[in-house]
Structure 1
Amino acid sequence: MPKSARIETALHFDPLAARLFLETNRKLENAVHLYEAVGFTPVPEEKLQASPYARSDLAMELFLV
C-alpha cells in the first residue's frame, strides 16, 4: 500500500483529525526513516507528556491541516 494510501486510511477513521501522532523507539531506524519520509517530525521535548510505553523514546507527529 503506498504511503499516501496509509495516511488516507488513517483519516478515514477520523476525517476531522488535525494531526497524526505516534511513539516509537530510535533503535527502529527503518521505521523512523519511513515516518520521516511521509512527513512525520519529532515532537519537541517541551510538548511531550509521559508515555505509557516503556520502550518508547521518540514521539512524532504529522500535521494534516
Structure 2
Amino acid sequence: MVATKLITQQYVGHPDKWNRSKRIFNILSDRVETVTPWLADKILTNKKNGARIEWLT
C-alpha cells in the first residue's frame, strides 16, 4: 500500500485524527519514492497482457 493524497487528504483540518492514523500508515504503507521506481520498471518490462504487478505481497 502507498499512502497518497487520495488517502491522506481526508485528514486535512483534523490533526488529532491524522496523528493517530499516521502511525498506522507508517507501519502498513510504503513511500511513493520507494515504490515508484520499482513499479515503473515492472510496468515497462512487462510483455504480458493482463499481468498482475504486486508490491510486497
Which is helix-richer, 1 or 2? 2
TM-score by length of 2: 0.29
TM-score by length of 1: 0.26
Q: Relative contact order: is structure 1 or structure 2 higher (C-alpha 8 Å, sep ≥ 6)?
A: 1
Which is strand-richer, 1 or 2? 1
